[in-house]
Every structure is written in structure tokens, then in C-alpha cells.
Amino acid sequence: MIPTRRQLFTENEEYDPSYVLLFTIASSVIWVMVPGLAFLYSGLSRRKSALSMIWIVLGSSFIGVFQWYFWGYSLAFSSSNNNFIGNLNSFGLKDIIGENGLGNEYPTIAFAIFQMQFLLVTLAIIAGGLIGERGRFIPALVFLFLWATVVYSPVVYWIWGGGWASSWRGGVLDYAGGGPVEILSGVTTFVYSAFLGRRNENLMINYRPHNISTIFLGTSLLYFGWLFFNGFSCLNASLKVPYSMLNTHLSGAFGAVTWCLLDFRLEGKWSMVGLCSGCISGLVAATPASGFIPLWASVILGIVAGIVCNFLTQLKYLCRVDDSLDVLAEHGIAGMIGLLFNGIFRIIYCCWQLYIQIVYILATTAYSAGVTAVLCFVMNKIPGLQLRVDYDAEEMGVDEDQIGEFAYDYVEVRRDFLDWGVPQNMQNDSSPPEPREVFQAEGGSSEAPTAASEKQD
């Protein structure tokens, strides 16, 4: 039944209005994680591909909104007679406005928009790895829609929609998405990167993240959104909100310090990138565990996540897969660690819980890897949906090839101007000096970077 305008905009006594406020505020703050990921990935990339990271992360959220409205919510949360996927009873978010959620405490529409943010964040985590300075936009967006339908929605149904993981031997403990958000994003990005292939080694000379300040900005926005992401996953306004937030703080802080110390051991420098990477690994590890483990266990969780994820960033070299943003190590592995901690340190101990958690980890990993591989293989064979740009486009930069705009347009224009030089027929005594002469006369270094060196950025 579709409610009348009067019913829609008047107070409904069947649910607590404070829950509507809770869900809408939390949903709005969680979305801040999307631009946070965009800034993080942009800073980690080279200058010539910086804008492409922002574009694809933002574009992924629009794809996610459409998929969730179209049939994503229905497949994830509609009641079904099987344990693996929902049905299409709520296709197009049909009939959810007048329905109430669990225990009639909140309306279903508020729950739907809250859960949509989890999909948007998951797609944003994956999106950067789909481009990785060598991927094409259209295939990436098509993949994200298909992936959200056949991978994300079923796994969400397993754990939160009444599927097998929520009831098998008492149920898996996954507080805020260690499986559907973290493991799926890490494994999917790794498999997709394998199909993309490695970046050209000749273009990787002196590779460094181009903007550390942007990395910090992105991490800060992620941290802010993560507190609501984890804190309000209890779906109520109880003491569990500040409790899970504090666990998130502890794990993120100790993960950051641990990672930074490990990098100092090698370089003798206090790496800002290492500090941000460790913080993210700790926050990811807290995602499935923040509502289930004691505070002191979060300290151990952050330290373990910082150590394990730091060392497992080398896994991509062993497998010869160019996971350019270390999504598998910082999201997939950290999510697995958090799920394992639920089986070891949960407040109410169960001897079977660790076994249940391991089965869940293996199931989500295998399912996401297998389906992602099939999608990538099929799409790569379809004309127009090849995953990777050609060599010339990679050398030029994904920004120029796919967008035609730049994150730092003044730098690219200056680079091209220096390439053009001054035509021979204009070089006389009255002609203006060349750009580098002006630069030196105004106090610039005589060793200004050449156009060739700028192209390597």
C-alpha cells in the first residue's frame, strides 16, 4: 500500500521517530567515506592519473544508488525460501515506505538508505583498483553494477538478510561488514587487477604517490565516516554505539602506530603514507569486530592488523599481480583478521565460533574470487568492454585519455607549453625569452625539471 501525503509527512506512532533521525544522520555521515576514498586513491596515484581516481570513485556511488534502487535492496533483504539470495518482491523499492522494520522500531525506508551506504562504500573501495592507472571507465562501471548484483547482494543476504551465515550453528559474527564490505572488496580488486595485468615497467621509474597531503585528507574523512559506519551498525541508540566507536578508535590508532614503526625499521623515516595505511588497516579490522570484542582486545587487534597487513603488502609481488592500491592487504586481509578475532575474543565465548568464522571467510573469499573471475573473463572478450587501455593511453595518463581534464591543469598546460618551445622563425633579438629563461630570471632554479621528467609523474 502506498501511503497518502498526509500519512507520509505526519508522525507514525508505530515506530520510534528517534530511529529515523539516527538512520538519516548516520547515512549522511557514512557517505563522506566516498570522497574520502577518492582523495586517498588520488593522492596514492601519479599526477597524470589523479583525477581518474576521483572520477571513478564518485561514479561508482551513482552506479550503486541505481543498483540498490533497481533490485539490490530486494535481492539483499527481501524474504526468500532459500538461504542464498532474496527475491524481487521489493523491486524498485516497492512498498517499503509504509513498512516497518525489526520490531516496528524503525521504518524500512530508513533502513534501506542506511544499508545503501554500505554498498556505496564497498563499490568505492573497489573502484580505484579497477582503474589503477591502466583501466577503462565504461567496463569498470558495467562490472560494478553486475558485481553488486551477483556478488554483493547475495553475500549481504547470507549474513544480514536471513541467509545461511546468520543461522548456521548459531550464526556468524560480522558486526559491520567484514565479509560483504572488506573481504569482497579486497579479493575482488585483486582478481580484477590480475586480469588487468601489470602496469608497464618502463613507466614506473621513480614511482611515488604524488600528493601526501591528499592521502591524509582522504584518511581523515574515512576515519570520521568509519566511526558512524561501525558505531551505528547495531541499528539502535544503545550503549553499543559508543562502545563500538571506542573499539574502532583503539584498533585504528594501534594499527597506525604499528605500521609506522615497521616502516621506520626499514627507512629510518616516519612515513605519513605508512601512518595512514596502518590506520586504515586497523579501522578495517575493527569493522567486523568492534561490537563483539572487549576494549583490550581491540588494542591487540590493531597491532596484529598493522603487522600482518604491512607484511602482506608483499603478496602482490609474490603473485605478480599489480594491486596498485594494496586493497587486498589493507581491506581483505584486515577484514579476515577482524572476523577471526570474533571467534577468539568475543565477550560471550563459544567453542564453535572460530570454526564458524573460518568457514564464513573461506565461503566469501571463494565466492567473490570465482564470480569476479568469470565476470572479468567474459567482459574482456566482448568488443567495447576490454578492461585495459592501450600502451599509448597508459603512457599519456588515464586522465587525458579517458577524461580530457586534469587534477592539476596548470601543470599539464605548462608541460605542454615547454614541449612546444618557440618556433624558429620567431626567434630574434626582439622575441620574448623562452619559458625557462623567464623562470630562471624570476628566481627559479637553473635546474628546472625538464618536460621529459615531468611526463614521468
pLDDT value for 351: 76
| 309 touches 259 (CB < 8 A) | yes
**Which amino acid is it at 224?**
F
Comparing C-alpha atoms, which of 321, 313, 63 is closest to residue 192?
321
3-state DSSP call for residue 117?
helix
CB atoms within 10 A of CB 217: 18
Specify the amino acid at residue 397. G
Distance from C-alpha of 335 to C-alpha of 67, rounded to nearest angstrom: 24
pLDDT in tens, 202-218: 655 567 888 999 999 99
User: pLDDT value at position 455?
Assistant: 42
Which residues, including other chains, have CB under 8 Å from residue 135's CB and lie 6 or more apart? 196, 387, 388, 389, 398
Specify the amino acid at residue 46.
R
Whether 374 shows a pLDDT value over 60: the answer reads yes
Mean pLDDT, residues 95-99 taken together: 73
pLDDT exceeds 90 at position 326 = yes
- Predicted confidence (pLDDT) at residue 67 exceeds the cutoff of 50: yes
pLDDT band, residue 408 (cuts 50/70/90): confident
Ranking 199-203, 340-344, 359-363, 418-422 by mean pLDDT, the lowest is: 418-422
Helix (H, G, I), strand (E, B) or coil at 110: helix
What's the distance, CA 56 to chain centroid?
11
In angstroms, the Cα distances linking 208 to 55, 177, 213, 279, 364 are: 21, 31, 13, 20, 33
- Length of the chain (residues): 457
Confidence of residue 436 (pLDDT cuts 50, 70, 90): very low
Contact residues for 365 (Cβ-Cβ < 8 A; gap 6+): 183, 187, 332, 336
The CA distance from 284 to 248, in Å, is 9
pLDDT band at residue 443 using 50, 70 and 90 as cut-offs: very low
Question: What is the C-alpha separation between 289 and 280, in angstroms, rounded?
Answer: 15
| 456, pLDDT greater than 90 | no
pLDDT at 425 over 70: no
In this predicted structure, the answer to whether residue 365 has a pLDDT above a threshold of 90 is yes
Residue 50 is predicted with a pLDDT of: 93
Please report the pLDDT score of residue 442 as a whole number: 42
Q: Which residues contact 194 (CB under 8 A, 6 or more apart)?
A: 319, 321
Please report the pLDDT score of residue 418 as a whole number.
54
- Spatial separation of the C-alpha atoms in residues 251 and 19, rounded to whole Å: 28
What pLDDT was estimated at residue 193?
A: 96
CB contact at 8 A, 343 and 354: yes
Q: If you average pLDDT over residues 343-358, what whole number do you get?
A: 86
pLDDT tens per residue, range 158-180: 999 999 999 888 899 999 999 99
**Residue 28, pLDDT above cutoff 50:** yes
Domains of the chain as residue ranges with CATH = 5-392 (1.10.3430.10), 409-455 (no CATH)
Contacts of 368 (CB under 8 A, 6+ apart): 151, 155, 183, 184, 187, 188, 191
- Say whether pLDDT at 452 is over 50: no
Question: Who has greater pLDDT, 451 or 129?
Answer: 129
Q: What pLDDT score was predicted for residue 440? A: 45
Asked if residue 277 lies in contact with residue 259, where contact means CB atoms within 8 angstroms, the answer is yes
- Tell me what pLDDT residue 169 has: 85
Task: Say how far apart CA 134 and CA 51 lie, in whole Å.
Answer: 13
pLDDT at 275: 97
For the cut 80, the answer to whether the pLDDT of residue 419 exceeds it is no
Residues 264-295: tens digit of each pLDDT: 998 899 999 999 999 999 999 999 999 999 99
Is the pTM above the cut of 0.75? yes
Task: Compute the half-sphere exposure of residue 211: CA atoms within 13 Å on the CB side of its CA.
Answer: 22
